[in-house]
Structure 1
Amino acid sequence: MLDSLPLSAKQIRSIAHATARINLWHGAIRSGKTIASLIAFLIAVASAPSSGLIVIVGRSLQTIERNVLDPLQDEKLFGPVARLVQHTRGATTAVVLGRTIHLIGAADSRAEGRLRGLTACLAYVDEATLVPRGFWNQLLGRLSVDDARLFATTNPDNPGHWLRKEFINRAGALDLRHWQFTLDDNPSLPAAYVASLKAEYVGLWYRRFILGHWVQSEGAIYEMFDAERHVVRELPHIERWLCDAIDYGTVNPFADLLIGLGRDNQGRAGLYVVSEYRHDSRATRRQLTDAEYSAARRRWLASVPQPQAGNVLGVRPEWTVVDPSAASFIEQLHRDGVSGVTPADNTVLDGIRGVANLLASDRLFIHASATGLIDELPGYSWDDEAAERGEDKPIKIDDHSCDALRYGVRTTEALWRPHIPTLEVAA
């Protein structure tokens, strides 16, 4: 298996020395840390004690399948060994090298109960910084068989994160080994691909996901936003009306962005914020009901001109993506017969990173009429007090159109990503 993969010296060292109780691979996306950790895990499975369970932990069953099991079953990566990994999509167990592996999603603190009464000899944790602290502690406590080991991978996070403060920084006092990877540590990536990734990430995301550094979020979130580049007065033909994305507010502003997929004069696909509807009850001194907001939305969409289509007015987006906390408004939209209504994916950092990557690679443009969004973007900033606690959070001030933007980008990603394939997700 090792002979069939172009491994770097760092990958080989990490595989050979992954003999501590806790073994952690962390660093840049696409840096080779996952492949190294999976090879070490396979070797560990082959020699694991017969007593005790083997578990794979991830944010959800779907992320375990995508980030761990799919690569293990890839014959281009693991050759004939891949055939010894069996898993039925959606099942909570897999068979790896003849051993039954239990798959555990750990999305929140309630997942800790899934470990109660369990005795484990081997564990693999994907995206360790996303695992709840209590779950991690419980998992370590369940690794009670002699010579039990834990393998984990993660992208860097805030330097105040508990994984770095309480484990990586205390490696000398613990039975823990860790290896930090940069993008340049992966010998199998084409030079042009590496150059593209480096160009697409900026600021905080570049330092974390390209250089592999644990750095604190600070300053402007979308520091790559440049009104000269990203604000446009002329729009291309919109090939696909992806969604209107809503951040709901009664006292706070209500913001709705219409987002479409179009191509510039060079044929490059990009996302375009075509139009914006906002209602600020403080400014107008009038609060609207759910029914009034729904009617205002219909009137607004009916009045939007279709770019490059003459005098054609009116747009019907495929999806209406709504702030997931706005249950009553979602119900109102259903009553009004709006199709494609869905709660937004509100994973904040993933949404912010997606928007940042699109802006950095000039794949996201905003029509000049969307003044609420244009006004908010430069001031959308990280919360310094949260950062000191090891958390990455935006300041919750003047963020309504920014929230709608990340809702729309994140929730429709499966629709636009095939047209903008160079943008990467962290892994």
Structure 2
Amino acid sequence: MGLNNLLTAKQQEVLHAYLKGDFKMMILTGAIRSGKTFIDNLLFLYELRRVANQAKKQGKVHPQYILAGASSGSIQNNIINSLNNQFGINLTPDRHNHFHLFGVDIIPVYTSSIRGLAGARGFDSFGGYINEASLANQEVFQEILNRCSEPGSKVICDTNPDNPQHFLKTDYIDNNNPDVKTVTFCFTIDDNTFLPQDYLQQIKPATPSGMFYDRNILGLWVSGDGVVYQDFDKKRMVIPESKVPDGLHVYCGIDWGFDHKGVITVWGDDNKGNVYLLHEYTSQFKFIDYWVSLAKKIQDEYGHNLTFWADSARPDNVTEFQKAGINCRNANKARMAGVEKVAEFMKQGKFFVNSDGIDKFLDEIYQYVWDENTGEPKKENDDVMDSMRYAVFNEHRQNKTQFINSRYF
């Protein structure tokens, strides 16, 4: 079987650069599903062989190597499970949660927060593999580089694009200083020539316009520009109540407020994959009793089993809802993932709004804009937008039970 049957042209280019060896850090950046992690997992195996041989030459019997990722779960899913599926290599952790292969001690380091700093300190490493590098805390990332101090050590990374002001972009990808010895490869989704054509034909038109398309499909490090929901089409998506179908699966989102607006939005899904904003209730200077009463009226109309996905910043309010017999859960508040999920429905033409049931929705959606400094939506004109995000994102996540506050349920 030839190399062309195993690796894409881009992956072969990366492998050639690795074997040439003239680098200290190799960064693979670009689109989703573009083949970055596959080739990096292969290079990880090459690295472990290199480390084992290097340690033998130096007379070191216990060589160490860093395997870094945002969390233990991401390392397991992106690397450990993939090695088993792709190469038939089953790595199992020892009692210290380390892995071992080819006589190399593989030490996991978790990079998503400053807490990972402790796991990266106190030892010298022959190299490192950093998965999802743009999710790494900068201090933890730098400490990993500091630890890779053995002769000939290298660091390989893969990442999806982020804000162009991200430290990984400014300090490493764009750093042309030859002494830094960083080599970078940028992938687009089309670089993965092994992807099924029907997947490409589905994912491209389904990806929201603007920043999400530029990052996920083209592999570009871009900030958002203008309004967040560029695919919202008022003429087509705002419909009269008479066109809202019956028999919907109903759920709600809550953004708590007092000085700023509080919002409950009511949503419904049909059996064709469409989501409908049925009602939006927005009020200011209202105490919790008002919202409990309103939620009970919604229950009376749609049933007592519907879920209210709530802002977890007010656990006292969540508890009051639960004490009143309302199925209220703490929402996962991941902003970018939530915005992208809502935007996907809009892009696919599966998002509709009951014109007879809204108040501030249209005011907010046209003022909900990107912050070019942070790469995320501005925290302005976002009360209804947050309620929408909590409901739609959490109701369509695969694993929702972990966000139940189980004190009353």
Q: TM-score range by the shorter chain?
A: 0.7 to 0.9
> Structure 1 pair 342/145, CA: closer, same or farther in 2 (3 Å)?
farther
> Contact between 2:51 and 2:104, CA under 8 Å: does it hold in 1?
no
Deviation at 1:329, TM superposition (A): 0.8
Q: Please give the alpha-carbon distance, in whole angstroms, between the structure 1 residues aligned to 2:70 and 2:259.
A: 34
**Secondary structure of 2:202's match?**
helix
- Tell me which of 213, 216, 227 is aligned to 1:209: 216
1:59 aligns with 2:67: no
**% identical equivalent positions:** 24
Q: Report the equivalent of 1:394.
A: 377
Matching residue's letter, 1:256: I
Task: Give the TM-score normalised by the residue count of structure 1.
Answer: 0.83
> How big is the shift at 1:410?
2.4
SS across alignment from 1:137: helix
> Which residue is 1:288 aligned to?
286
CA distance in 1, matches of 2:91, 2:218: 35
User: Which of 168, 186, 189 pairs up with 2:173?
Assistant: 168
Cα shift at 1:14: 0.5
| 119-128 or 101-110, which deviates more | 101-110
Structure 2 residue aligned with 1:404, among 387, 392, 397?
A: 387
Distance 1:329 1:27, change over 3 A: same
Offset at residue 208 of structure 1 (A): 1.3
For residues 67-108 of structure 1, give each alpha carbon's deviation from its aligned partner in whole angstroms, at most 9, with x where no partner exists: 22222221xxx2xx32x2224799944445564433332222
Question: In structure 2, do the counterparts of structure 1 residues 5 and 294 end up closer, same or farther at CA, with 3 Å as the change threshold?
Answer: farther
Corresponding position of 2:7: 7
1:345 aligned residue: 332
Counterpart pick for 2:125 among 116, 120, 123 = 120
Q: Name the structure 2 match of 1:307.
A: none
Task: Check whether the contact 1:133–1:162 (CA below 8 A) recurs between aligned residues.
Answer: yes
CA distance in 2, matches of 1:48, 1:5: 28
1:109 maps to which of 88, 111, 114? 114
Counterparts of 1:224-303 in structure 2, within 5 Å, are 224-233=231-240, 234-238=243-247, 240-241=249-250, 243-263=251-271, 268-279=272-283, 281=284, 287-303=285-301
1:179 and 2:176 correspond: no
Question: Which segments of structure 1 move beyond 4 Å, counting only runs of 4 or more?
Answer: 1-5, 88-91, 95-100
Q: Does the 8 Å CA contact 2:205/2:348 hold for their aligned counterparts? A: yes
Q: What's the TM-score once normalised by structure 2's chain length?
A: 0.86
Question: Post-superposition shift, 1:142?
Answer: 1.0
Which of residues 343, 350, 355 is equivalent to 1:363?
Answer: 350
CA contact (8 A) 2:69 2:131 kept: yes
CA RMSD in angstroms comes to 2.5
Tell me, yes or no, if structure 1 residue 331 matches structure 2 residue 324. no
Q: 1:3 to 1:85 in 2, by over 3 A?
A: farther
Deviation string 1:366-393 (CA, Å, 9 cap, x unpaired) is 2221332233112210124xx2xxx212
Q: What is the letter of the counterpart of residue 17 of structure 1?
A: A
SS in 2 for 1:37: helix
Does the residue aligned with 1:277 lie in a helix, a strand or coil?
A: strand
**In 2 relative to 1, CA 190–319 (structure 1 residues): closer, same or farther, beyond 3 Å?**
same
- How many Å separate the matches in 2 of 1:245 and 1:333? 13
- Give the C-alpha shift of residue 122 in structure 1: 2.5
Q: Secondary structure at the match of 2:274?
A: strand
- Aligned counterpart, 2:50: 47
Answer yes or no: is the 8 Å Cα contact 1:112–1:138 preserved in 2.
yes
Equivalent residue, structure 1, for 2:59: none
Sort the Cα spacing of 1:273 and 1:8 in 2 relative to 1 into closer, same or farther, 3 A.
Answer: same
2:108 aligned counterpart, secondary structure: strand
Distance 2:358 2:103 in 1: 57
SS in structure 1 at match of 2:318: helix
